[in-house]
C-alpha cells in the first residue's frame, strides 16, 4: 500500500502512545520516547538500521536483552556514538508497565478514538473552500453533471489533445 509521506507524518504526529508491553509499538518508527521517534533523537543511528527492521521491530522485542543495538549496521563515527548515548539515556527514562497493553490515543477527537472526520478536519485546517463549491454540489443536476462541472472549474477535464499526449488516444480530434 502506497501512503503519502506528508499525510503519514501528520497522522503519526497526532497519535499519542503510552507504552505498556510494547508489543504493538514499533521501536524504530513510532513516537514512543516522550513523543519523539528515534529518527528525531539519533538520525545517524536510525540511518544505520535497514528498512525491514524499522518496519517490524517492536519495543518489546527491541528492549529484550538490548536487541535494538544489534539492529545497527555499519560504522558509527564520534557523533554517532554521542547520539547512541543520548538515545540510550532517552530509552532508559521511559516508564513502561510490561503487564499492561499499549495505549494509542487520538487527541484530535474528544473521545480519544481515531475518527476519519477529525483527521479530515486536521488535514484541511486553514485551507480555503472554493466559493463555487456549494453552488455546484447543492444544485439539482444529476451527479455525473455535478462531477463534470466540478472538474471543469478546476481545469481537470482530460481533453482529446491531453489524452493524446498521454498515449490514451491515437490523435487529437474535435469530437471526444
In tens, the pLDDT along 36-50 reads 999 999 999 999 999
Write out pLDDT tens, residues 58-97. 999 999 999 999 999 989 999 999 999 999 999 999 988 8
139 with 101, same domain?
no
Measured CA to CA in angstroms, residue 169 lies from 16, 39, 78, 148, 156 at distances of: 50, 47, 59, 20, 17
22 with 98, same domain?
yes
Question: And the C-alpha cell for 156?
Answer: 481537470
**How many independent structural domains does the chain possess?**
2
Given this model, what pLDDT does residue 26 score?
93
46 with 92, same domain?
yes
State the residue range of the domain holding 18: 5-123
Question: And the C-alpha cell for 31?
Answer: 513516537
29 with 58, same domain?
yes
133 with 90, same domain?
no
65 with 119, same domain?
yes
Rounded-to-integer distance, Cα 149 and Cα 153, Å: 6
41 with 78, same domain?
yes
103 with 172, same domain?
no
Given this model, what pLDDT does residue 171 score?
62
94 with 151, same domain?
no
Given this model, what pLDDT does residue 62 score?
93
113 with 168, same domain?
no
pTM score, whole prediction: 0.65
48 with 87, same domain?
yes
Rounded-to-integer distance, Cα 71 and Cα 90, Å: 18
Given this model, what pLDDT does residue 148 score?
92
pLDDT at 112 over 90: no
Final residue belonging to a domain, choices 87, 104, 123: 123
Amino acid at each position: 500500500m502506497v501512503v503519502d509521506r506528508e499525510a503519514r507524518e501528520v497522522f503519526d504526529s497526532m497519535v499519542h502512545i503510552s507504552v505498556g508491553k510494547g508489543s504493538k509499538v514499533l521501536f524504530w518508527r513510532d513516537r514512543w520516547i516522550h513523543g519523539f521517534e528515534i529518527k528525531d533523537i539519533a538520525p545517524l543511528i536510525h540511518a544505520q538500521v535497514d528498512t525491514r527492521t524499522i518496519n517490524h521491530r517492536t519495543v518489546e522485542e527491541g528492549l529484550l536483552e538490548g536487541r535494538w543495538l544489534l539492529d545497527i549496521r555499519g560504522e558509527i563515527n564520534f557523533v554517532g556514538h554521542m547520539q547512541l548515548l543520548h538515545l540510550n539515556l532517552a530509552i532508559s527514562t521511559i516508564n513502561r508497565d510490561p503487564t499492561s497493553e499499549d495505549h494509542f490515543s487520538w487527541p484530535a477527537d474528544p473521545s480519544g478514538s481515531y475518527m476519519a472526520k477529525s483527521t479530515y478536519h486536521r488535514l484541511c485546517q486553514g485551507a480555503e473552500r472554493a466559493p463555487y463549491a456549494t453552488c455546484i454540489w447543492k444544485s439539482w443536476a444529476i451527479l455525473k453533471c455535478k462531477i463534470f462541472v466540478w472538474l471543469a472549474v478546476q481545469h481537470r477535464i482530460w481533453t482529446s489533445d491531453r489524452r493524446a499526449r498521454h498515449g490514451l488516444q491515437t490523435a487529437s480530434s474535435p469530437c471526444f
